[in-house]
Amino acid sequence: MTLLARIPHTPVSAPIYLDHNSTTRPLPEVIDLVARTMAETWANASSAHWLGGEARAVLEVARDGICELVRGGYPDGVRFTSGGTEANNTVLLGGEPASAWRSVITCAVEHASVLRPAEALARRGSRLRVLPVGSEGLIDPDELRRAAAEAPPGPVLVSLQWANSETGVIQPVSDLVVALRSVRPDAFVHSDAAQAVGRMPVDLAATGVDAVAFSGHKINGPHGTGALVLADPDEDRISPLLLGGGQEHGLRSGTHNLPGIAGLGLAAAMRARTLDHAVTYMRSVRDAFEEELASTVPEAMVNGGSAPRLPNTSSVQFPGRDGMELVARLDALGVACSQGSACSSRKPEPSHVLRAMGLSEADAYSSVRFSFSTLNTTEEAQRAARVVAQALGKHT
């Protein structure tokens, strides 16, 4: 039996896929470029000969593509990684003992790839402050200002997500940075922007953020790709996690995943050139889903519904229902969705994000996330809402 024959396969046309905050389907153009790069540009980009030069040219094109999408960055400030998790860990943990973060400020609704490294730093002696959020999932700039003012002398890292993976709630990044800089202008500001990049404008220069991390598989690019984008290409407050050949300006050693990076750069450039249309389209599809759901399941409530949200995300609470059971029923009926982050959604624990927003354990368990992309249609969204009603025993 071949490897492909052993992989379970569901016909692509069977499900309505509404789990794009977990991962997105690579675009045909991306798949084609990845395959062509593997076949035609297979040399090591660190090699000095002309084949290595061709490989390096692929890297530079990809850096340009990323800077089309992540505004305010420079190609020399792009550091390729295996994804957002590695990029986040590089910022938080990538420091020699003499230059490690003395204080770390983050927030309660961060992704695990920020919270777990932050906790590791606290065990090593860093002062950790985890900011609360309000009922809509938003950080209060005054809370950040106070936390920064109380931080002891020494290097301060502030890591605040741009948008939440479960609710889609968008943080007031510019306001937060202004509040922070008013008391600690020297703080290093990092943002996990894995959900924001490609779904809203992300601009380092306009917000004053020092670094953003994101993943290729959230923007219809290849799995196992991502980048850390630095506002200052000469930034020296971060040290590498991986030591070796000194690739990526010494910040990320290891032979480049050239096909993946090529696909990442193309996916970024394609989304950059259609961003406004993509945002408008995803919002229309998401809104059609929520409107249909409101008519078929009137008791359903959108978590964070009054806050600024990503255009593609609906975290819906179904009071008194078992969210895990509902996700399973929807899967059987051909609608793929989730209860939250794919990194932790298979664990039978209530969402830490929803609990931080003040939901009870029961309400958190009753919530389900539906996330859309430009590959979904309005008809699919409306049909999915009717399937939700069916799964709940409603008559539509």
Alpha helices in 297-351 (DSSP H): 323-332
From the number of C-beta atoms within 10 Å of its C-beta (0-12, 13-18, 19+), residue 142 rates as exposed
Phi and psi for 227 in degrees, rounded to 5?
A: -155, 155
CB-based contacts of 138: which residues, under 8 Å, 6+ apart?
169, 171, 172, 307
Report the candidate in 334, 363, 336 with the shortest Cα–Cα distance to residue 351.
Answer: 363
Q: How many angstroms separate the Cα of 352 from the Cα of each of 61, 86, 277, 355?
A: 39, 21, 33, 5
Sign of the torsion angle spanned by Cα atoms 267, 273, 277, 279? positive
Burial 71-98 (b: 16+ CB within 10 A, else e): bbbebebbbbbbbbbbbbbbbbbbbeee
- Which value, in Å, is the radius of gyration of the alpha carbons in the chain? 21
Is 343 known to be catalytic?
Answer: yes
Residue 185 burial class via C-beta count within 10 angstroms: exposed 0-12, middle 13-18, buried 19 and up: exposed
Q: What are the structure tokens assigned to 250, written together?
A: 């010494």
C-beta neighbour count of 220 within 10 angstroms: 26
Q: Do 144 and 179 touch, CB atoms closer than 8 A?
A: yes
Q: Give the SS3 label for residue 190.
A: strand
Which candidate in 67, 107, 337, 343 is catalytic? Answer: 343
Half-sphere exposure of 360 (CA within 13 A, CB side): 6
Q: How many helices (H) and strands (E) does the chain have?
A: 14, 14
Helical axes 28-40 vs 258-273, angle rounded to 10°: 150
Which residues form the catalytic set? 343
